[in-house]
Structures are given as structure tokens and as C-alpha cells.
Chains A and B, each alone.
Chain A
Amino acid sequence: MTDAESTPPPDASHARAWQILVACWLLATGASLGSLFFSEVMELPPCSLCWYQRIFMFPLAIVLLVGALTVDRHCIRYALPLAIGGWAFAAYHVLLMVGIIPESAAPCQQGVSCTEVQLELFGFASIPVLSLLAFTAIAAGLLLIKLRYSR
């Protein structure tokens, strides 16, 4: 009886896992389109660290789309490493911008500085902060499905 209370019935859990998956896909797609909007429409040049984050975010939008369409939770196997990799770059980038990591350690040379703030929404959300928030939410969602809804 206690078992039935703590774990939801299999159908419901399946539906909930899929909803979380769709939410993660929406975040990844929104972030990808957002970053394309910044670079292609607003013509803000992406710095090298932004490119590394894009390398992880763009495939997430595709992998999670396929996973959501085919209702295949195994897609988390492929998506989670991307989310964690992107999260690591975003975290590094934010630390760099805040100044916790000194700029001399920054990997940028020519072109666009990775520490120059090009855009700030609501007073705190620079582009790397938005990226870190998105990667955090996606990784958390995927981990939740993996730990909670997989046998």
C-alpha cells in the first residue's frame, strides 16, 4: 500500500516523464533560436565560448525533438552528456564574466571578448547567464526523468 502511494501508477509516470522531456526540448529549442536571434538578427558576434555552448545546445534541440516525437526515454542517454557538457562551458563562462576566474585565463584571443557584456535582460541576465539557466534546467529535467521514472 505504501508502495502505491509513493510511486505513481506506470501510465501516469510515463506521461509525466514525457512532459518533462517536452519541456526540456522546448527549452533547448528556445535557447537555440534565441542564440540564433542574437547572432543573425541582432548581429551580435558570438565569442568563442558562446560557440562551444552552441555546439552542445543545437544538437540537444534535435535529439530531444526525436525523443519527444518517438516517446523514447532512451534519448536521455544521448541528451544528458550534451546538457552536462554545455552546462560546464556555461558555468565557466559565467565565472569568467563575474570575474571569479581572471581574464588572463580566458581562451579568447582575436575577435570578440568573452567577458564583454553585449546584452543584459532584466538587469542580471547576460547571454551566458541565460545559457547557464537553460542548461541547468535541461540537465535537471533529464536527470529527474532518469532517476525518478526509469526502473
Chain B
Amino acid sequence: MNKQKTVITLAIVLGVVFAIGIVVYRSITDAEVAKLIEEQPSVLVRASAKTRGAVDAKVHIVEFMDPGCETCRAFHPFVEQLLADNPGKIRLSIRYLPLHEGADVMVKILEAADKQGKYWETLHLMFESQPQWASHHHPQPEKIWPLLPQIGLDVDAIRRDMNAPEIDAILAEDLAAARALNIRKTPSFFVNGEPLRNFGYEPLRALVHGALAASY
């Protein structure tokens, strides 16, 4: 019938308009972020960010992460494996977007642990023990404290160092950078300035392998 055809045609038109809107909006915001990174690389790469891997590696992964985020926990070994599989070629920088309750405390502990040279061990411990302290219904960041001596950390020094104004400044800088880069979710990855658009293990692997192929 004619009326049904009209309705179905209108529905298809609406769907097409919606799809075009998504494509146009994404391309506009992507272009804005790309321009920002090109003009101000320091927005993406904070000089004081903790880095793992060879300093002269040509592939640089920047990860915005939250120690309380389950997906960041799940991606942690995957990214470690990427680094291990390509020794000397990949560098990883960690930036913070602590969206979970209590996660900012973790970031402060993490940065304080760096003074004792145990940044990566502490990050690993936080992800390992995440289910104990980061329950969504009942986050208990204080549960991390008894675990810290396990990896040889001086807990008193952590308590003293974690409230340094430099750490607050780092958190503020990373939050502002995330806003400027249009990041609202963790983990968010950039590989040589290119954002990971379709989230997942395989897309990340593909993005990294593409950068490796282009650089080596």
C-alpha cells in the first residue's frame, strides 16, 4: 500500500541521515584532535609521563588509563606482550584519567612509588588486586595499603610523598589533556599520535603493527 511505502521510505531516510551525521561528526572531531596533536604535541605526550621500553623506539603508545578500570586491567598484559614481542621498537607512556572512585588515590600512590623506583611493579600490583579494592558498589582504596610491602615498598614514605603538589599538578594536567583530546573512556590509546578508533585488542594490535611497518 502507498501509505506503508511512505512510512518505510521516511524510516530509511531517517536512518541514512543519522548514519551520515555520525560520519560527519566523527570526521570533524577527529580532524580537530589531529590538528591539536600536530600543533601542540605536549598535549598528548607529557614529558614527565612514566615510560616503558626503549627511549629511541620509533613507535610510541600513549595510554590514558585508570588503575580502577577493569578494561585497563584486561589490556595491561596485552600491551606488555606487544612490547615484549617487539623489543626496542615500542615505547609506552602512561597518562591518567582516574574516573573510578578512589582511583585518584591509586594514581598518587603510583607516582609516590616511582620515587622508590617501583612504578611498574606497583601498577602491576594494583591491577592484580583490583577486584579487592575497586568494587563498583563498594570501592575500598584503603585495601591496597597492606599489599604494598609485598613488593618492597616503604609505606611510610609513600604516605609522605603521595600528597606532593607535583602529583596534583600531574593529575590536573592529564585531566585537562583528556578533555582537550576528547577522551571520555579508559583505556584510550594513541599510537604515534593516531587514536585507536575502533576499540578492541585486535584493532590495537593492527594499529601498532601498522606503525611498526611504517617505521621499521
Contacts and interface: CB of A to CB of B under 8 A. Distances in A.
A68 B7 CA distance: 7
Interface string A65-77: 1001101000000
B3 A71 contact: yes
Given A42-B25, A71-B3, A33 B11 contact: no
Interface residues of B, number: 15
Contacts of B81: none
B25 A65 contact: no
A87 interface: no
Specify the main secondary structure of chain A where it touches its partner. helix
A43 interface: yes
A41 interface: yes
Contacts of A33: 14, 18
Contact of A43 (B3, B8, B11, B184): B184
A18 interface: yes
A68 B14 contact: no
A30 interface: yes
B167 to A, nearest CB: 25
B3 A18 contact: yes
Contact of B11 (A29, A37, A41): A29
B22 A65 contact: no
Contacts of A20: none
B121 to A, nearest CB: 33
Specify the main secondary structure of chain B where it touches its partner. helix
B4 interface: yes
Nearest to A71: B3
B172 interface: no
A101 B14 CA distance: 36
B10 interface: yes
Contacts of A42: 25
Interface string A25-47: 11001100100010001110000
A23 to B, nearest CB: 10
Given A37-B21, A41-B22, A65-B7, 18 more contacts: A18-B3, A22-B6, A26-B10, A29-B14, A30-B14, A33-B14, A37-B18, A37-B25, A41-B21, A42-B25, A43-B185, A65-B11, A68-B3, A69-B3, A69-B4, A69-B7, A69-B8, A71-B3
Interface of A: 18, 22, 25-26, 29-30, 33, 37, 41-43, 65, 68-69, 71
17 contacts: A22-B6, A25-B7, A26-B10, A30-B14, A37-B21, A37-B25, A41-B21, A41-B22, A42-B25, A43-B184, A43-B185, A65-B7, A68-B3, A68-B7, A69-B3, A69-B4, A69-B7
